Structures are given as structure tokens and as C-alpha cells.
Amino acid sequence: MTANQGSLTIAGCGLHPGHMTLETESLIKNAEKVLLVAPNPLSIQHIISLNNTTEHLGKYYNEEGISRPDIYKKMAMHIVDLVRNGVQVVTVFYGHPGVFVTSTRLASNVLKNEGYPVKMLPGIAADACLYADLDLDPADTGCQSYEATRFLLTRRTPDTSAALILWQLGLTGEHTNDHFKPGEQGLKALSRLLAEYYPASHKVCVYEAPTLPGFAPRIDWMTIEELATADVNTISTLYVPAGNEPTFAEDRLAWLGLTEADIEHWEEYEEFED
């Protein structure tokens, strides 16, 4: 990289200051320009203290009459313009910077095609917090993950023997891209859809990771039927546990010359007695 060549590093700061990695913190300190999107005031203050060039891109959300896609395009254009002008930019987004962050995807695609160096560093997102707070291992049953409105409005058949995570529950059915709340019938429709695959009494969890250190997460268990009238926020995530056990595929066992008896020991790891 030449001294005057712009570059882009996309980093995640997690959901609060305690989540930031040492690698990300070091990059922020040494960046020529830091662009930030974080709703957490502690994270904002911490990042500004690391680098006084920090500019908060949240200002674009304050412009009235602009849709979410247009906001993301404005952010992306600002990133691209800086890099094209030879600035080594670090963008910092809360959570994981590659999960539901449209602006960095747009900027990255443009800059990579123009030959600029672009790299991404991971961050702690809501799913990682969910696994910890609900004491879950996604490897136990497997896990499916969808954006809630896309899951609702496209033909998806969930595997009910695996867990299901639906992101952006608080925007379910909001198809206009203009609002930050569920569509008028969004949760009711989602509840209706889930009831086609699970019993109406199947328990699901509305989860919200804490955005301040030391605070408790929101963990609200309710039935699928009750989900229709649940109180949700833009940061809410829905966790749907598996509803039944998977069955072995005898033909695939045969590919390996196995029977179910050959893998009975899998169950031995599920229980432990001291």
C-alpha cells in the first residue's frame, strides 16, 4: 500500500464497549479517519476518545423524508469519497459490521472493484449474545437464520427439528423501508405463519441483548399465539427452539456402511454425572 493510497477497514465494536477487540481498538487509534455508527453513548464516547477524527454517521438518520435505502447509500458514498481521496478509513459499526450493515457492503463492493484494499474484522452481534444468555449451543440441533420480513414474505419451509432465529423482529412486515417499527399486521402474520409449522402453544423467546455493560438481557418466553401481540423493539430478535427430533437418513448411513447403532454414542455427550 502506498502512503497516499486510500483503504477501508470495516470493524465491529460489539454491542457495548466491553465487546471491542484489541485489534479493532488498535486500528481505531491509528486510523486517519474513523466513521462510526453506534446507538450506545458509551461506545460513541469510547471510540471518540481513541481517535478525535471520529465522525458519527448516525446524522444521516436525522434527515427527514429519506428512506432507509437512501440513508445507506449516502453513508456508502461518503465512505467511498474519502477512500478515493487517499484517506485510510476505518468504519466502526455496532455488533458485527457484516451483519445487516448495508452501507459497508455497498462501499466495499465499489472500492474492491476499483482496486482499493478492503478488509473486515468481526464483532460480537446479537446471535452470539443470544447463545450465551440463553445457554445454547447451535450445534446441538442446528440453527436456521433469517431476516423476519423476508422469512414471512418468501416461501421458506423451516426445519422444525432445528432452532430458528429471526432477525429484526421489530421491523416484521415493514415493507416500505421508511419506518422503524413493525408493519401493522406484521407480528400477527408471522405468528400465523409459524403456527403452520409448530403448535400454537410452542414457546418462543423475544430476545434483546444488553447494550450497556452490567445490564441484563431481555428474555421473554411466550407462545407463538402470544407473539401476535408482543411488545417488540428494533433490536428484538426471535428465537424459536426446535419442535421435534431429527430422524436419521438410512440411505445416507448406508453410504458410509453404518447403522443407527453405530452412532448411538452421540447421545452419551448430552448427559454428564459427576
67 domain-assigned: yes
174 domain-assigned: yes
- Whether 54 and 150 map to the same domain: the answer is no
Segment 7-32 mean pLDDT: 95
Comparing CA positions, the residue from 88, 253, 274, 209 lying closest to residue 266 is 253
Q: How many domains does the chain have?
A: 2
Instruction: Give 113's DSSP letter.
Output: H
- Whether 112 and 157 map to the same domain: the answer is no
Task: State how far the Cα of 159 lies from the Cα of 70, in Å rounded to an integer.
Answer: 35
Segment 152-174 mean pLDDT: 94
211 domain-assigned: yes
- Whether 17 and 116 map to the same domain: the answer is yes
pLDDT at 182: 60
pLDDT at 144: 97
Q: Which of 13-27, 42-56, 89-103, 260-274 has the lowest mean pLDDT?
A: 260-274
270 domain-assigned: no
pLDDT at 195: 97
- Whether 78 and 130 map to the same domain: the answer is no
46 domain-assigned: yes
Query: Which residue range(s) make up the domain with 109?
Result: 7-120
- Whether 13 and 116 map to the same domain: the answer is yes
Half-sphere CA count of 136, side-chain side, radius 13 A: 21
Q: Which residues are catalytic?
A: 68, 72, 94
Mean pLDDT of the chain: 91
Query: pLDDT category, 98, cuts 50, 70, 90?
Result: very high
- Whether 116 and 130 map to the same domain: the answer is no
- 17 or 202: which carries more pLDDT confidence? 202
Segment 6-35 mean pLDDT: 95
258 domain-assigned: no
pLDDT at 176: 64
Identify each DSSP E strand in the chain by its residue range: 7-12, 33-37, 55-56, 88-93, 118-120, 143-147, 163-167, 203-208, 218-223, 237-240
Q: Is the pLDDT confidence value at 2 over 60?
A: no
Instruction: Tell me the whole-structure pTM to 2 decimals.
Output: 0.88
Query: pLDDT category, 179, cuts 50, 70, 90?
Result: low
- Whether 107 and 171 map to the same domain: the answer is no
Whichever domain contains 186, its CATH number is 3.30.950.10
pLDDT at 271: 59
Measure Cα distances from 267 to 108, 140, 260 in Å. Answer: 44, 11, 12
CA 116 to chain centre: 26
pLDDT at 67: 83
Query: pLDDT category, 273, cuts 50, 70, 90?
Result: low
